[in-house]
C-alpha cells in the first residue's frame, strides 16, 4: 500500500477548499432564492406555501437537467487547462452555448405546458392547482437564462475561477428579496400576485444573473486570450455529441436524485396542505445544507480534472480523498444543527404550530442522512473529474428508484407512517448511492495509470 504524504494531502485539501468556498457561497445564494420564496410564501398562507412547494419541485427538474448537461464543461475545461490546451476552450464554450440555448427552449416548453398537467395527473390537493399553474407559467420564462448561465459558469469554474459564481449568486439573492416582496404581496402599485409573483421574480433574477455574468466574462482580464465571445461557429455535431455523451448521464443522474425528492413531494402532496408545507420546510433546510458538499464536489471535479490533464495519477487520488474528507467535516456541522434545533429551525418559516411540529420530525430524519448525502455527491464529483459518468448514472438510478422510492412509499402509505416513512426511504436511497459511488471512485482511482505518477 502506498505511503500517504500528509503534507500533500493537506495542501490538496486547502486548494480544494479555496476553490470551493466561492462555489459554496454561490450555491447557498442560489438555494437562498428558494428559501426566500418559501419564507415569504409561508407568511402569506399555507396554501401559497404548498403551491410554491409543488411548483418548485417540478421546476427543479428543469433546473437540474440544464445543470447536468452543462456539468460536462467543468471537467472538460479543467482537463484542457491541466494539459495546457487553453486555445480549445473558446470553441468548446461556443458549442456549449448552442446546446444550452436549445435545451433552455425545450425546458421552457416543458415547464410552461406539460408540468401543470403533471400536477393534475398526480392528484395533488386540488386547492393548490390554480396557484401551482400560475407559478409554473411565470417561472418557465427563466429556463433559457439558467441553461446559458450554467454554460458560463462551467467554463469559469473549469478554469479554476470560482469567485464570479459567488458574486452573481449573492447579487441575485439580494435583488430577489425586494422583488419577491413587491410581486407576491403587492407593493408600489403592483397587485398581490402570490405564487405567480414568486415565479415572476425568480425568472427575472435568472435573466439578470445571466446578463451580469456574460458582461463580466467579456471584460475581466482572467479570460483574455480565450476569445469566448468570438463570432460563434455553426453547430458542430461532433462537438455537440461529445458534450451530450458526457453531460446526458450527469443530467440523468441529477434527475434521478432530484426526481426522488420531487416524487416524494408529490406523494406527500396527497396528505394535505399542512403536511406539504412541513415537507417543504424540511426539504428547504436540507437543500441549504446540501450546498456545502455540493460546492466541495464541484471543486473536487476541477481538482481531479487538473490532475488528469497533467497526467498525475497520484494527484487524482489526493484530490478525491481530500475532498471527500472535507465533505465529512461539513456534514458533521449540518447533522448537529438539524438534530439539535429542529423546532427552532422550523419556526423560522412559519408560525403554524402543527406545521412546525411536523417539520421538526422531518428535520431529524434529514439530519440522519447528511453523511450519506455528502459522500455520494463528493464521490460523484470526483468521478466527474475523471469523465466517468455512465456507470454513476446506473448507480443513482438503482439507489434512488429501486431502493429509496419504493421503500419510502411502502413505509409512508402501506405502514401509514406518512411523510416520515417517505423520508426514511430517502435515507435508504442516499445511503446506497453513497456506498456504491465511493466504491466506484476507489476502484477507478487505484486502477488509473496516467502519464506520470505525480511523484
Tell me the mean pLDDT in the region 351-373: 89
pLDDT of residue 101: 93
Average pLDDT, the chain: 87
Q: Looking at the predicted structure, is the pLDDT value of residue 452 above 60?
A: no
Tell me the mean pLDDT in the region 240-267: 84
Query: What distance in Å separates the CA atoms of residue 451 and residue 7, rounded to the nearest whole number?
Result: 23
Would you kindly state where each structural domain of the chain is located, as residue ranges?
6-447
Q: Which residue's entry shows cell 511523484?
A: 455
DSSP-derived secondary structure for 350-387: ---HHHHHHHHHHHHHHHHTHHHHHHHHHHHHHHHHTT
How far, rounded to the nearest angstrom, does the alpha carbon of residue 346 sit from its chain's CA centroid?
Answer: 22
- The string of pLDDT tens digits covering residues 215-228 is 999 988 888 888 88
Q: Looking at the predicted structure, is the pLDDT value of residue 302 above 80?
A: yes
Q: How far is CA 402 from CA 52, 227, 395, 417, 433, in A?
A: 28, 46, 10, 20, 11
Q: Looking at the predicted structure, is the pLDDT value of residue 288 above 90?
A: no
C-alpha cell at 325: 474528507
The sign one gets for the Cα dihedral 47, 49, 52, 56 is: negative
Q: Which residue's entry shows cell 435573466?
A: 207
pLDDT of residue 228: 87
pLDDT band at 35 (very low <50, low <70, confident <90, very high): confident
C-alpha cell at 123: 392528484
Q: Looking at the predicted structure, is the pLDDT value of residue 455 above 50?
A: no
Residue ranges of alpha helices (H) inside 45-142 are 46-70, 73-82, 89-109, 115-121, 129-139
- The string of pLDDT tens digits covering residues 197-209 is 888 999 999 999 9
Query: What distance in Å separates the CA atoms of residue 248 and residue 89, rounded to the nearest whole number?
Result: 20
Q: Looking at the predicted structure, is the pLDDT value of residue 259 above 80?
A: no
> Who contacts 24 (Cβ-Cβ below 8 Å, separation ≥6)?
291, 292, 294, 295, 296
Amino acid at each position: 500500500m502506498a505511503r500517504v504524504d500528509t503534507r500533500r494531502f493537506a495542501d490538496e485539501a486547502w486548494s480544494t477548499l479555496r476553490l470551493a468556498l466561492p462555489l459554496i457561497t454561490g450555491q447557498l445564494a442560489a438555494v437562498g432564492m428558494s428559501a426566500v420564496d418559501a419564507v415569504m410564501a409561508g407568511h402569506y398562507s399555507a396554501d401559497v406555501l404548498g403551491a410554491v412547494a409543488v411548483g418548485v419541485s417540478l421546476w427543479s427538474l428543469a433546473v437540474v437537467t440544464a445543470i447536468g448537461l452543462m456539468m460536462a464543461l467543468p471537467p472538460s475545461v479543467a482537463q484542457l487547462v491541466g494539459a495546457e490546451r487553453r486555445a480549445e476552450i473558446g470553441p468548446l464554450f461556443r458549442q456549449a452555448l448552442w446546446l444550452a440555448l436549445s435545451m433552455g427552449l425545450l425546458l421552457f416548453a416543458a415547464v410552461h405546458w406539460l408540468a401543470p398537467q403533471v400536477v393534475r395527473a398526480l392528484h395533488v390537493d386540488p386547492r393548490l392547482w390554480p396557484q401551482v399553474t400560475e407559478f409554473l407559467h411565470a417561472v418557465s420564462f427563466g429556463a433559457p437564462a439558467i441553461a446559458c448561465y450554467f454554460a458560463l459558469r462551467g467554463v469559469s469554474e473549469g478554469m479554476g475561477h470560482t469567485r464570479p459564481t459567488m458574486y452573481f449568486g449573492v447579487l441575485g439573492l439580494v435583488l430577489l428579496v425586494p422583488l419577491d416582496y413587491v410581486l407576491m404581496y403587492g407593493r408600489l402599485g403592483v397587485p398581490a400576485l402570490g405564487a405567480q409573483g414568486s415565479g415572476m421574480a425568480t425568472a427575472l433574477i435568472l435573466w439578470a444573473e445571466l446578463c451580469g455574468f456574460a458582461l463580466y466574462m467579456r471584460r475581466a482580464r482572467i479570460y483574455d486570450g480565450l476569445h469566448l465571445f468570438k463570432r460563434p461557429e455553426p453547430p458542430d455535431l461532433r462537438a455537440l455529441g461529445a458534450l451530450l455523451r458526457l453531460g446526458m448521464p450527469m443530467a440523468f443522474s441529477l434527475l434521478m436524485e432530484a426526481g426522488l425528492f420531487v416524487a416524494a413531494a408529490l406523494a406527500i402532496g396527497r396528505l394535505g396542505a399542512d403536511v406539504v408545507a412541513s415537507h417543504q420546510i424540511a426539504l428547504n433546510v436540507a437543500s441549504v445544507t446540501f450546498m456545502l458538499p455540493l460546492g466541495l464536489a464541484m471543486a473536487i471535479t476541477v481538482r481531479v480534472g487538473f490532475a488528469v490533464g497533467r497526467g498525475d495519477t497520484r494527484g487524482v487520488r489526493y484530490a478525491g480523498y481530500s475532498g471527500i474528507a472535507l465533505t465529512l467535516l461539513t456534514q458533521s456541522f449540518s447533522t448537529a444543527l438539524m438534530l439539535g434545533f429542529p423546532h427552532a429551525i422550523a419556526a423560522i418559516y412559519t408560525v403554524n404550530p402543527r406545521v412546525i411540529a411536523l417539520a421538526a420530525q422531518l428535520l431529524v430524519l434529514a439530519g440522519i442522512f447528511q453523511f450519506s448525502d455528502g459522500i455520494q455527491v463528493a464521490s460523484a464529483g470526483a468521478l466527474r473529474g475523471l469523465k466517468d459518468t455512465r456507470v454513476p448514472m446506473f448507480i443513482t438510478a438503482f439507489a434512488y428508484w429501486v431502493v429509496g422510492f419504493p421503500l419510502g412509499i411502502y413505509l409512508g402509505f402501506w405502514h401509514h407512517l406518512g411523510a416520515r416513512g417517505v423520508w426514511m426511504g430517502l435515507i435508504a436511497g442516499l445511503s446506497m448511492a453513497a456506498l456504491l459511488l465511493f466504491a466506484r471512485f476507489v476502484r477507478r482511482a487505484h486502477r488509473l495509470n496516467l502519464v506520470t505518477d505525480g511523484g
